[in-house]
Structure 1
Amino acid sequence: MIEAQQPTTMRIFHPTLKQGSRIPTMLSTQVLHCDPASVSFDPSTSQPRITSPDTLNSLSVAAKNLIDLQPVAFPTETVYGLGALALNSSAASCIFAVKGRPPDNPLIVHVSSLDMLYGLLPRSFKMPESYKLLIRRFWPGALTLLFPSDPNTIPSIITANQPTVAIRMPSHPVARALIALANAPVAAPSANSSGKPSPTTAEHVRRDLDGKVSVILDGGACGVGLESTVVDGLQPDGKIRVLRPGGITVEDITKVLQEGIQDPKLVPQVLVHRRDYRDEHLEAAPSTPGMKYRHYSPTAPVILLMTASPPPENVTPSSAQSFLVRLKDEIQPSSSIKVGLLVLTDSTLGTLTLPTIDGVEWCRYELGPVDDPAVTARRLFDGLLSLDQQHVDVILIEEVNETNEGLAIMNRVRKAASEVRWITF
């Protein structure tokens, strides 16, 4: 964990938006420690109780930055977020400036209470029964729901001019307390430069955004490690569409709906975008992050190794040994290379004896057991970022079974990979 209350300064210029114009601003980044265990919530008021004076001070500093329309990096249970006031266009613009984020990529709005949620919704909106069940079970938590957007309340920069807005209530005590202290909804994508792997520790954020934000709250490593699951239950057919798999699994969503709706005929079908259906209009003009642009990519190119799924008809798999032996000649035949491997601890590839090859250094990072994808989810982004820190020339990552958290893992891996290879053993 990063030392608390120690400011670090990087002399760079950052385009901050003020009064509609971009002006150069040098920032000194403070990394402030927060103890999540010192934060609890009064169930009757949804207000935080904070027993640690240091944590209260850190949260107060961060909340003041938000109120002053400055972005703040903070932990959530999924990944670290880069937050700004959601209902202020100038504040939200700073998120896009810091990240280098395309303007047609919408933001998720985070709330600290149901009262704050209802304050954002059109008065005419009637909450679907499916949403009531999902909110009761998964909020606070890693589930984002699409709601109709009230253009008189939600700035168009948040929704990328779409008619819906994505909203969630984080379960991380530091995130929820920050929103409550600011007393305003907070828009927050992941706290990284656009396109890079999402950060799961404050140190990940500091390496990337030092000098670009004033405050990073360090609340420890994220427990989930992947972004929230995004669900659209607003369509006329009543079906639940998972637009982005994430921290809440499709299996869990299906189970809650089946248990909560007595008549089996009324249980909505759960569909996963790109697995169960395609929507070209949605992909061209997404209503939620992570659908249009390449994401999660480290500096080194990533090759996805398919070890279980059958290859396309026109593809002949290579043996694992021959692929590894030929890799140097394919990448950099005239000089030494470092090869990063993200492998499952007990898989065939993970337990394979790597060949000894002149000019090749292997750098392994274990993603956890085959049968525990929740561990792999927590370790995926840290693995990509850690291997990048070792300056590897290429990263190999093996396929994960697409059940439970594995669906979200493979969603991220496919977007990070520049190439896919099929191998056999």
Structure 2
Amino acid sequence: METKVYTPDEIPAAAALLTAGQLVAFPTETVYGLGADATNVDAVKQVYLAKGRPSDNPLIVHVADVETVERFAQPLSEAAKKLIKAFWPGPLTMIFKLQPDALAPEVTGGLATAAFRNPDNDATLALIRAAETPIVGPSANTSGKPSPTTAQHVLHDLHGKIAGILDDGPTKVGVESTVLDLSTDQPAILRPGAVTPEAIEQVIGMPVQTELHHVGATEVPKAPGMKYKHYAPNAQVYIVDRSEDWPQALAWAAQQEIPMGVMATDGILTNNLIPANCEQFSLGDDIQSASRKLFAGLRHFDTETKIKDILCQAFENKGLGLAYMNRLNKSAGQTHFSV
């Protein structure tokens, strides 16, 4: 199969592929997703095959309007309506109880709930409208690898496995959406993202659980990223927790006989002597740019170098840093540089 790259001017052609049951990757403000008609079971099955994704890992359904959600979900709560008004379109995914047999088990992982999102990308919203169907959209990458933030990342992983890619340039946020479970009595964040717990609590006026990011080996996850290995490059990532740890981390790197990777903000890169055997990748100036560039940096060392070990900067575990550290910890397998 030849994978064709489409521009936003070619949305009708890309939508026709989705209508025909083909797979088309699409841009969002977070990462690129792998789209298929959410009501076409055969198409959804192809998503799992193309990614090499476990079949009990549920998919997020991307919609262009609230009315589509109401076709499938049980009546929305007042909290859900407030959050939709505040954050859609945007990087917030919400899990709702479904009407009986509303979506195929291939979409929901066999659960009676499903996750819905209204992405903040005009090209993708136009694609969904043109296809006249909601589309599933896991990250458009090989399962377990760093998520794609450009069309080129998608092409690297899935060329020849999918029919098309809608290219709208690099994504703006760089880490996947916040996943909020609204199918239980107390709202719970199952995956942190750009929409923070504090922002959600301010809108709905009630506390949100935040420590439910993992499930056991025999459990079916309600959201992506809770059970299986995610975001991992081929290289081993070591998290450098504090700014004052960098001199020792770089001294250790200098003693290694192999090339090393260093991912850090410009302040760290400028204020420390980077050894000759280390290749730098700038994460920019702050947590916003670091989140946007994290996956791109991991992919850079995977595809363009022979780096086997990467030192990567940590951020404070709050706000957007909560999402960044969630992804970085999974990329590193919870491995931290020890001083």
Give the TM-score taking structure 1 as reference length: 0.75
Distance in 2 of aligned mates of 1:32 and 1:342 = 32
Give the letter aligned to residue 216 of structure 1: I
Distance in 2 of aligned mates of 1:100 and 1:327 = 34
User: 1:11-90 counterparts in 2 under 5 A?
Assistant: 27-34=1-8, 55=9, 58-90=10-42
User: 1:40-189 counterparts in 2 under 5 A?
Assistant: 55=9, 58-121=10-73, 125-189=74-138
User: 1:13-412 counterparts in 2 under 5 A?
Assistant: 27-34=1-8, 55=9, 58-121=10-73, 125-236=74-185, 239-257=186-204, 267-274=205-212, 280=215, 284-307=219-242, 320-327=246-253, 336-347=257-268, 351-356=271-276, 361-369=277-285, 372-388=286-302, 389-412=304-327
Q: Which has the larger radius of gyration?
A: 1
Cα offset for 1:206? 1.1
Cα offset for 1:345? 2.0
Give the letter aligned to residue 287 of structure 2: P
Q: Is the 8 A contact 2:214 2:226 kept in 1?
A: no
Q: Is the 8 A contact 1:328 1:337 kept in 2?
A: no
1:107-149 Cα distance to aligned partner (Å, 9 max, x none): 000111111111112xxx3322211111001111111001112
1:260-317 Cα distance to aligned partner (Å, 9 max, x none): xxxxxxx21122124xxx7756983211111001100112121122227xxxxxxxxx
The match for 1:46 is none
Runs of at least 4 residues off by over 3 Å: 278-283, 318-329
Distance in 2 of aligned mates of 1:108 and 1:233 = 14
Cα distance change, pair 283–246 in 1 and its aligned pair in 2 (3 A): farther
Distance in 2 of aligned mates of 1:219 and 1:373 = 23
Deviation larger for 102-111 or 225-234: 225-234
Q: Is the 8 A contact 2:90 2:119 kept in 1?
A: yes
Distance in 1 of aligned mates of 2:259 and 2:100 = 51
Give the letter aligned to residue 353 of structure 1: L
Distance in 1 of aligned mates of 2:55 and 2:254 = 39
Cα offset for 1:420? 2.2
Structure 1: 5+ residue stretches without partners: 1-26, 35-54, 258-266, 309-317
Distance in 1 of aligned mates of 2:44 and 2:181 = 23
Percent identity, aligned pairs only? 38
Cα distance change, pair 321–224 in 1 and its aligned pair in 2 (3 A): closer
Distance in 2 of aligned mates of 1:134 and 1:319 = 40
The match for 1:12 is none
Distance in 1 of aligned mates of 2:218 and 2:175 = 21
Cα offset for 1:198? 0.5
Q: Secondary structure at the match of 1:165?
A: strand
Count how many residue pairs are aligned between Structure 1 and Structure 2: 338
Q: Is the 8 A contact 1:31 1:218 kept in 2?
A: yes
Give the letter aligned to residue 141 of structure 1: G
Distance in 1 of aligned mates of 2:284 and 2:220 = 36
Q: Secondary structure at the match of 2:166?
A: strand
Root mean square deviation, CA, Å: 2.1
Distance in 2 of aligned mates of 1:153 and 1:145 = 16
Structure 2: 5+ residue stretches without partners: none
Give the letter aligned to residue 324 of structure 1: L
Cα offset for 1:322? 4.4
Q: Is the 8 A contact 2:94 2:116 kept in 1?
A: yes
* Structure in which a larger fraction of residues adopt strand: 1
Cα offset for 1:328? 6.6
1:81-105 Cα distance to aligned partner (Å, 9 max, x none): 1000111110100100100000110
Q: Is the 8 A contact 1:304 1:420 kept in 2?
A: yes
Q: Is the 8 A contact 2:216 2:227 kept in 1?
A: no
Q: Is the 8 A contact 2:253 2:278 kept in 1?
A: no
Cα offset for 1:392? 1.3
1:185-221 Cα distance to aligned partner (Å, 9 max, x none): 1011000000010101111111111111121111111
Q: RCO greater where, 1 or 2, for CA within 8 Å and sep 6 or more?
A: 2
Cα offset for 1:418? 3.3
Q: Is the 8 A contact 1:226 1:378 kept in 2?
A: yes
1:18-63 Cα distance to aligned partner (Å, 9 max, x none): xxxxxxxxx01111222xxxxxxxxxxxxxxxxxxxx1xx211111
Q: Is the 8 A contact 2:92 2:117 kept in 1?
A: yes
Cα distance change, pair 294–64 in 1 and its aligned pair in 2 (3 A): same
Q: Secondary structure at the match of 1:222?
A: coil
* Structure in which a larger fraction of residues adopt helix: 2
1:135-171 Cα distance to aligned partner (Å, 9 max, x none): 0011111110011123422000111111210001111
Give the TM-score taking structure 2 as reference length: 0.93
Cα distance change, pair 246–282 in 1 and its aligned pair in 2 (3 A): farther
